[in-house]
Amino acid sequence: MALFLLVTHGSDGDVLPFVGLGAALVRAGHRAVLLTHAPYRSVAVEAGLGFAAIDGEAEFESVLADTPGLLGSAPHRAGWAGFYRRNALFEQIAAECRALAELHVLGGTVLVGRHTSAVSVRFAAELLGAPVAWVALAPTQLLAVPVAAYLYGAELAAGLQEVRDGLGLPEVPDWRAWFAGSDAELGLWPGWFDAAGPRAPARVALTGFPLADTSARALGARVAAGADPSDRPPADLADRPSADRPPADPADRPFEDPFHGLFPVGTRPVLATGGTGRMLAADYYPALLAAAARTGLPTLLVVRHRDLLPDALPDNVRWSPGLDFARAVPHAAALVHHGGIGTLARALAAGTPQVLMADGVDRPDNAARLARLDLARTVPADRWRTPELADAIAAAAADHDLPLRAAAVTGPQRPAEALDAAAARLAELLTDRPRPRALHGLSPADRARLHARLRERRAAGTPVPEEAR
């Protein structure tokens, strides 16, 4: 039985796929520990994973509140170095490295990190000599490596080197080569999606969309409205796979009206969301609400942070802090969203028409790939405040041919198989001999001394939670 230490940062779209991946590793007979933000403790534990928080809930929310500046919507606070310093992210990276070293089991551990951001797994791998894998959640995480390499080697260089100095690691001479130095790279999207835009490098194993909302509930999500939670068996019994029962997709369970109490029975509303984070242009929700009002269609706006919305909503709009999207999306007339890859994958699997208000990070690329295949309508930010957005929503709600078009492109989607394939590729790292890495020049004695230093530093800080051990 191997141990897999998984590190990721962000909101649902960044964390829930790692919960699903960890659950797949547990199904395969391994142990998995997730190191991520404190609010995800319960979903990780429910999925059978160990858990170690990299922050507290207040710190998590503070970082989310600071992210819009990275899109340029708050220019006076923009800048990656300032963002890292304000939010003590260099210190967080160092703490992650200490936790990884504490949890690491010699000869039986694989380190797995969200591509580009989880540098702690790469730093720890250099120190411990453990196999390490990057997991990319969207194609742009691979396409943006040259930009990230410049950022890490310039604006963030001083802070990252402070972390490396504390670990006894040398300076990185070439960050672009460093990014390509993992033992494996996985992309959690299918080949047809990859072919609709710039392709992933040949070294990246594509495993398919994980449909992570099947594995774990979203932040803010509640049991389907009108359903009695006591009617469901406990999660560890209801959702635990067995040899003759594959993991169930909530969308396939008996119908429970996910909109009960919000709209008249039988209503198929438009669902709208900007995800569970805050990295959105300031005009995103005002434009979305104006377009929803213009359509007159019953609309459910799913927004975890109520302060992002005005006090008064249009008469046809209802608000919810969270929703079981796996169950709700198949019963929606259309889905309007920010272009997150997990959200678009769920809409495709459900055959629900979607409108993407894509702006920033991976979203425009995701939107462009679907638009090329005639699988989504997209409205760029400079046209959000025009009738075009409302027209696109109305057209999507009336697009009854989308399920057939989507099925012809995507074929059957099997999220459990995608996650099992990703887990199997990671497990191979314990049998495949890792290729040499330039920074593995430390002798066993030197590495043992550095490991001891990490344990001493760890002893002076916050202990790793018991459930992570």
196 shares its domain with 48: yes
Handedness of CA 64, 66, 72, 73 (dihedral sign): positive
Handedness of CA 316, 320, 321, 326 (dihedral sign): negative
Total structural domains in the chain?
A: 2
Domain membership of residue 376 (yes or no) is yes
203 shares its domain with 305: no
355 shares its domain with 451: no
186 shares its domain with 260: no
Report the pLDDT value the prediction gives residue 414, as an integer from 0 to 100: 82
Report the pLDDT value the prediction gives residue 455, as an integer from 0 to 100: 60
353 shares its domain with 390: yes
HSE-CB of 438 using CA atoms within 13 angstroms: 11
378 shares its domain with 429: no
Nearest alpha carbon to residue 240 among 274, 211, 215: 215
407 shares its domain with 423: no
357 shares its domain with 464: no
Report the pLDDT value the prediction gives residue 348, as an integer from 0 to 100: 94
- Residue position matching structure tokens 């005005």: 310
68 shares its domain with 95: yes
285 shares its domain with 357: yes
61 shares its domain with 190: yes
Domain membership of residue 384 (yes or no) is yes
Domain membership of residue 242 (yes or no) is no
Domain that holds residue 312: 219-226+255-411
122 shares its domain with 153: yes
Over the chain (469 residues), the average pLDDT of each successive run of 10 is 96 94 96 97 95 95 90 59 93 96 94 96 95 97 92 94 95 94 96 96 95 70 41 30 39 65 91 92 95 97 94 95 91 96 94 94 94 96 95 97 91 86 95 49 56 60 53
313: domain CATH number? 3.40.50.2000
Burial of 11: CB neighbours in 10 Å, binned 0-12, 13-18, 19+: buried
